[in-house]
Amino acid sequence: MFAAPLFSNYTATVTLIALTAIFAYSYYAVLIAGQLSLGQAGIASLGGFSATLVVPDEPIAGLSPLVVGVPVGMAVGAVAAFILGLPVMRLRGVFLAIATLGFGEVVRIVLINMSWTGGAQGIRVPKLVTPSIAWIALAVVAYGFWRLGPSRLGSAFAAIREDELAARAMGIDVSRHRMIAFVTSGAVVGLYGVLVSYFSRLITPDDFGFATAVDGLVTAVVGGSLLFVGPLLGSAFFTLLPEIQRAAGIEAGWIRPFISSTLLLVVILFLPGGLSSLVPRLYKPKVARDSAPPELTPLPEPGAPILQLSGLGKDYGGVHAVRDIDLEIRSGDVLGLIGPNGAGKTTLVNMISGLVEPTSGSGTVLGCTLGNPATAHRFAVAGVARTFQQAKLFDRLTVLENVVVGTHVVSKPTFLRRLLLLPSARRDERRALAQASAQLGRVGLVDKAGVRAKQLSFGDRRRLEIARALAAHPTLLILDEPAAGMNHVEAVELSDLIGSLAADGITILLIEHNVGMVLRTCSRIVVLDFGAVIAHGTPDEIAADPAVIEAYLGSEGSPT
């Protein structure tokens, strides 16, 4: 009974599904990198109005005049997003959303007060967008995001979305990748601005206001950001909803916003992955045993300097977390770092891995000078890999996908080659999978490669984090309390694994509360207490040192 009303509106409905999906993809571009931006509507208006200045009145060589307007709109959108991104890239979450929303409103107000835009009345333009043009544009955009997913760039975006700190420790330049996502969003929404303007025949600044920005976000969130078809699913749902409503003879204007709001609430509470999470994934990385791993840089010769610290310190206000640390680590060392709770162990390794800036002293790790935490990814590129005191995994990714992220610093970019369907892209991705698969085998998690990380037991999460660090082919591997939560058998197995890694030439810095394991595993041990080194020597020397015994057990006259 719905056939006649739907058919009469078929052309407009089909075109709107495509255009709304393109708009939603501009949100998808930043959501997959963990960003919440609401400035897309303002950028779309800049793209649309800029196109009106260059689109000719007549076809060009038999082609639509949009062949001129679309590149201009996308270029303007990308440039606007880049300029906006420079000051706002340091913001996160709701603060980023508010800042970008403010930008959109500023753009709207400025365009209203410009004579060349026609002010509040806008500009009338010819209708140049047909369903075929809209769907061709959508197909190109969707194809790009489809090819992005399994690429090295797509894996980096997913890692940033899940945990920025862990992504930075894996060698991913978070700021650069967030800007790439932002500029991509600007180009896509610039395309939308041009197409929607030349479809509706009238472009006004108020067409790109707050309500439009929110509608685009809702469409993208409901569709889902975990699979590239999410924006299309969200667009189809929200575009067809009023058509079905009209076909059913329901004219109440409040129904669509009511259903939209209800569905958004349901998705957030019960379906965080959106409608796309209901769609089976067509591509799932699988353990690769038949491919050679990537070409890896040889590890330094035994005895080569790896780390030098001189007078290193870190203060938090009046609290001296770390004080005057002098330390040297050479290639082949298995150095244990122990001390009571609050001794400053984690603060020290955070400085060594580039995540925390020292307040005094100096240090170099594999040629990298300790300093700005924004450059922490350079430490990973140089050969530093680490685990965290509280396991930092990418919970919505599978076990294998987590470890593939670890190969970021030893694998090659593949996205542009994937777009061109070049075989070399698939070959390099299989090499990264082979490297990841080998490390999963090393820690005994191959049989759980397809399981999401959040479903693992505590011990398996620890092993997965070690495998991810090993996938980076580190020169220096920092293990921050890797045996926490493990039973005796698991701790012994971990100790054996560390021994095998040292035999392979990997330099290891082990932070652990299990003193027996440290004494059994390490060749040298450093003991911290109240942020300062109180002992340094072989396991036998440390075990007999009175200062160490007092730090752990207290002196005979100390209060209990």
Q: 4 pLDDT band (50/70/90 cuts)? A: very low
- Please give the structure tokens belonging to residue 99: 């800042």
> Tell me: the pLDDT tens digits for 458-495?
889 999 999 999 999 999 999 998 988 778 888 888 89
pLDDT of residue 263: 72
Residue with tokens 């891995």: 353
Cα separation, 541 vs 471, whole angstroms:
34
Q: What is the mean pLDDT of residues 270-290?
A: 75
Distance CA 145, CA 220 (A): 14
- For 153-210, the pLDDT digits (tens) are 999 999 999 999 999 999 999 999 999 999 999 999 999 999 999 999 889 999 999 9
Q: Would you list the domain boundaries of the chain?
A: 11-209, 332-358+376-553
Q: What is the mean pLDDT of residues 254-262?
A: 72
Angle at 107 between CA 105 and CA 108, to 5 degrees: 65
Q: What is the pLDDT of residue 464?
A: 95
AA identity, residue 409? V
Whole-number pLDDT of residue 559? 42
Q: 292 phi and psi, to 5 degrees?
A: -75, 140
Residue 443 in this model has a pLDDT that exceeds 50: yes
Which CATH topology does 332-358+376-553 take?
Answer: Rossmann fold (3.40.50)
Q: In sequence order, which residues have a C-beta less than 8 Å from that of residue 325 and are 6 or more positions away?
A: 309, 311, 312, 313, 348, 361, 532, 533
Give pLDDT, residue 135. Answer: 96
Distance from C-alpha of 96 to C-alpha of 164, rounded to nearest angstrom: 15
Residue 5 in this model has a pLDDT that exceeds 90: no
Strand partners, 312: 325
Cα separation, 418 vs 428, in Å, equals 11
Strands 524-529 and 532-537: antiparallel
Measured distance CA(426)–CA(261) in Å, rounded: 41
Confidence (pLDDT) at 267: 76
Place of tokens 């706002």: 88
Between 281 and 481, whose confidence is greater?
481
d(CA 517, CA 540): 13
Q: Which residues contact 147 (CB under 8 A, 6 or more apart)?
A: 415, 418, 419
pLDDT one-digit tens code per residue, 11-38: 888 999 999 999 999 999 999 999 999 9
Q: What is the CA radius of gyration of the chain?
A: 28
Dihedral sign from CA coordinates of 282, 217, 208, 154: negative
Mean pLDDT on 353-372: 90
Q: Residues 536, 525: contact at Cβ < 8 Å?
A: yes
- Higher-confidence residue of 256 and 243: namely 243
Nearest to 321 by CA among 532, 164, 466, 18: 532
Q: Check pLDDT > 90 for residue 48.
A: yes
pTM of the complete model beyond 0.85: yes
Residue range 301-355, pLDDT digits in tens: 888 999 999 999 999 887 888 999 999 999 999 999 998 888 889 999 999 998 8
At 103, is the pLDDT very low, low, confident or very high (cuts 50, 70, 90)? very high
Among 45-59, 108-122, 128-142, which range has the highest average pLDDT? 128-142
- Tell me the per-residue pLDDT of 122-166, one tens digit each, with 9 for 90 and over: 999 999 999 999 999 999 999 999 999 999 999 999 999 999 999
Residue type, 63: L
Residue 397, number of CB atoms within 10 A of its CB: 22
Average pLDDT in the 402-418 region? 95
For position 429, what pLDDT does the model report? 92
In the prediction, which pLDDT does 112 show?
94
Reported as a single tens digit per residue, the pLDDT across 502-530 is 999 999 999 988 888 899 899 999 999 88
Count of beta carbons in the 10 Å neighbourhood of residue 165: 14
The token pair that represents 8 in the structure block: 């009469």
